[in-house]
Amino acid sequence: MAARAAIVTGASSGIGLAIARLLGEEGHAVTLAARRPEKLEQAATGLEQAGLDVQAVAGNLGLEEDVQRVVAAHRERYGRLDVLVNNAGVGIGAPVGEIQTKRLDIQINTNFRSIPLFYRECLDMLEAAGAEHRRALVVNTASIAGKRGEAWLSVYAATKFAVVGWTQSMHKELAEKGIKSTALCPAFVDTPMTDFVKGQVDPDSMIRTTDIAEMVRGLLKLSPGCVVPEIIFDRPGGGLPFED
């Protein structure tokens, strides 16, 4: 059995890949999950070449059976879970009158519904880690849009508010079992997700994925008596650039 193990969703690029690398460097065996198999395999190969112990399990995490498959593969290969990172997410903008039901469902299912399912499926392993060292950790990637509503990104923002609220509830329900939960709430991060705005916002001025990973490194090092329910990553000047 690995000494420490983690699952990271949305691990094939951007924030998830940076957190997976950090967790590997900090001695975790890591199950990487994301939607497109080829892209995920490429990410896994890169981490393996850096000497890290990872496995890739592709799946659409909006589907319950795929969430269960990821957790089962992790359990079989590594047998324990110290850190769960619920990071997979998708943002599809639309004015309210043009919201498409399919896109509404994709965002709700990926950004929010997958998270309670992962908690439920992983609970026994998290409880075992919490009982062992009282520093089991679940990191849920929300967004700064989970702290204030956004025009045209209304569905995305609502799913991220749900992630923040869910994290607060889990904090109350599980922290005394040694399972800490933290919501990450970043403004624009330089990842493929922000490609749509890079004509207007210089990517070099955005938050870096390594900034997010460094805060997760800090979370790993906190003593059992300290919990951080939420971290907001803002940019100089504050606020999203399309906010008046």
> What residues are annotated to the active site?
156
Give the nearest distance from C-beta 196 to ligand NAP in angstroms.
Answer: 10
Query: Which spans in 108-153 are helix H?
Result: 114-133
Query: Is residue 68 a contact point for ligand NAP (CB under 6 A)?
Result: no
Query: Is residue 35 a contact point for ligand NAP (CB under 6 A)?
Result: yes
Q: Please, which of residues 132-161 interact with ligand NAP by CB under 6 A?
A: 141, 143
Using the minimum distance from each CB to ligand NAP, give the nearer residue, 57 or 129. Answer: 57
Amino acid sitting at position 96: V
Using the minimum distance from each CB to ligand NAP, give the nearer residue, 86 or 129. Answer: 86
Give the nearest distance from C-beta 226 to ligand NAP in angstroms.
Answer: 24
Q: Which residues pair with 182 in a beta bridge?
A: 139
Q: Please, which of residues 37-56 interact with ligand NAP by CB under 6 A?
A: 39
Query: Is residue 178 a contact point for ligand NAP (CB under 6 A)?
Result: no
| Beta strands in the chain, from DSSP E residues, in sequence order | 5-9, 29-34, 54-58, 83-86, 136-141, 179-186, 230-233
Interface with ligand NAP by CB under 6 A: which range of 23-31, 96-104, 172-180, 182-190?
182-190
Query: Is residue 31 a contact point for ligand NAP (CB under 6 A)?
Result: no
Query: Is residue 215 a contact point for ligand NAP (CB under 6 A)?
Result: no
Nearest of 176, 180, 201, 206 to residue 191 by alpha carbon: 206
Give the nearest distance from C-beta 125 to ligand NAP in angstroms.
Answer: 20
Distance CA 97, CA 112 (A): 23
Give the nearest distance from C-beta 145 to ligand NAP in angstroms.
Answer: 7
Report the b/e string of 65-79 with b at 16+ CB within 10 A: ebbebbbebbbebbe
Q: What DSSP designation does 201 have?
A: S
* Residue whose structure tokens are 């890591």: 30
CB 185 within 8 A of CB 231: yes
Query: Is residue 61 a contact point for ligand NAP (CB under 6 A)?
Result: yes
| Sites of contact with ligand NAP (CB under 6 A) | 10-16, 34-36, 39, 60-62, 87-91, 110, 141, 143, 186, 188-189, 191-194
